[in-house]
Amino acid sequence: MKCLLLLAFGLLSSTFAQESQILKEFSTGYNIFTTDVYKELLKYYPGNFIVCPLSADIVLALTNSGAQGETAKELSNALRLPEDPDKVREMFKAISPNLQSTNRNYTLSTANKIYVKKGFEIDDKFKNVAVDVFDAEIQNIDFTRNQEAAREINQWVEDKTHKKIHNLIRPDSLDEDTRTVLINAIYFHGKWVKEFKKHDTLKLPFYLNSKDHKETNMMLATNKYEYYESPELNAKFLKLDYEGGDVSMHIVLPNEKEGLAALEEKISDVLIPPEYGYEKVSVMIPKFKTETKIQFKPILQALGVKHAFKDDANFLGIGAHQEAIKISEVVQKAFIEVDEKGTTAAAATGVLQIVVTSLQPVKPPKLFHADHPFLFYLRLNTLGVNFFVGRYKSP
């Protein structure tokens, strides 16, 4: 079949300390997973790309809650999650409140949904984890009417991503063998604390390499920003905060016009924010919009997930009658748009399983002129994780 992944004060203090430790363990493993994913993406995506490792992490962890044996072990290892399912449930229960904004200054939302073939009975334990831990909706659907089913699923994704992600599911990926489709959708929209002025945006060259360039809209501003120069990475870091303070964009710009490849060789260091200092900075960054469709199957296979895609996959914890299923696809669409006002980003991931059959300083400002390829990430400061990661190589 197919399944798409796409007390008293003393006790209260102890609870907070325990939750803090759980969140720390999650962020440590997740940040390694993000680095692993980025390294694999370099093999398949030579140009611009945007990925949401968090969306993939959530839907794969949800799927893994129905896995057993070597299948579960391989997925846990790839996701850098504990093998103890109780601990995993604690982690995702703890991070869930951080993925829904209650701040009027920005919008952050995540949603999970499981579409189940009519007549296919979900295991009660799996259902309880899906609802109680991952806050997932569960809905019956007729996958044999694949055009209608795909339209309904894609409409849900569009609604949850504010019309930014379209056509995540292909109708031809659904048929009589499809049993479940698991979807995670993440949406973020934030305004810069320090907006760029539209009348300052100019058409300027963006250098593809040391010789070639394209004209594109460049946003310009000079202000006090969090800024860092790294001699070790031969790069500059710039942090741009969104209103509300919970989310920030970090842009990492190699000093050399053709320095991105060398920077990406040290990606694990790049994705850790440095100890910023406040400086007056002349900033120039392009307005840009990027959408990427990512096939996660080869990425996961490279990370050691083998059994989940084979006929001997063990997802016996998903169906009530222990029907043998395997993952056929893990697909994600991610989107980001950066302009003078701020940033909009969205992602949706599905997993498919099939039946086995201040005063101005006197000194001149620092220059952060992103007129050549760079990488960036959106960081959820409350969790200490990068939930969108990407690179920009060409307008």
Q: Which of 382, 350, 385 is nearest to 160 (CA)?
A: 350
Structural domains of the chain, count? 2
- Dist CA 356 CA 313 (whole Å): 9
| Domain co-membership, 372 together with 335 | no
The phi, psi pair for 258, rounded to 5°, reads -110, 35
What tokens were used for 218?
A: 């460049």
Q: Looking at residue 234, which CATH number applies to its domain?
A: 2.30.39.10
Q: Is the pTM of this model over 0.85?
A: yes
| Domain co-membership, 257 together with 304 | no
Q: Which of 151, 82, 86, 79 is nearest to 115 (CA)?
A: 151
Residues ≥6 apart with Cβ < 8 Å to 87? none
Helix-strand-coil split of the chain, %, nearest 5: 30, 35, 30
Structure letter (DSSP) for residue 364? P
| Domain co-membership, 207 together with 335 | no
| Domain co-membership, 202 together with 320 | no
Provide the β-strand partners of residue 235: 230, 254
Domain holding 45, by residue range, is 2-191+290-355
pLDDT tens, N- to C-terminus, the chain (395 residues): 344 444 444 443 334 457 788 889 999 999 999 999 999 999 999 999 999 999 999 999 999 999 999 999 999 999 999 989 999 999 999 999 888 886 778 899 999 999 988 888 999 999 999 999 999 999 999 999 999 999 999 999 999 999 999 999 999 999 888 888 899 999 999 999 999 999 999 999 999 999 999 999 999 999 999 999 999 999 999 999 999 989 999 999 999 999 999 999 999 999 999 999 999 999 999 999 999 999 999 999 999 999 999 989 999 999 877 788 888 888 899 999 999 999 898 888 887 665 554 444 557 899 999 999 999 999 999 899 999 999 999 99
Q: Is 230 exposed, middle or buried (0-12, 13-18, 19+ CB in 10 A)?
A: middle
| Domain co-membership, 341 together with 373 | no
CA angle (237 as vertex; 234, 240 as ends), nearest 5? 165
- Dist CA 211 CA 207 (whole Å): 7
| Domain co-membership, 92 together with 239 | no
| Domain co-membership, 331 together with 370 | no
Q: Looking at residue 328, which CATH number applies to its domain?
A: 3.30.497.10
| Domain co-membership, 258 together with 294 | no
| Domain co-membership, 134 together with 24 | yes
pLDDT of residue 351: 76
| Domain co-membership, 280 together with 312 | no
| Domain co-membership, 66 together with 207 | no
* Contact (CB, 8 A) for 64 and 75: yes
| Domain co-membership, 298 together with 155 | yes
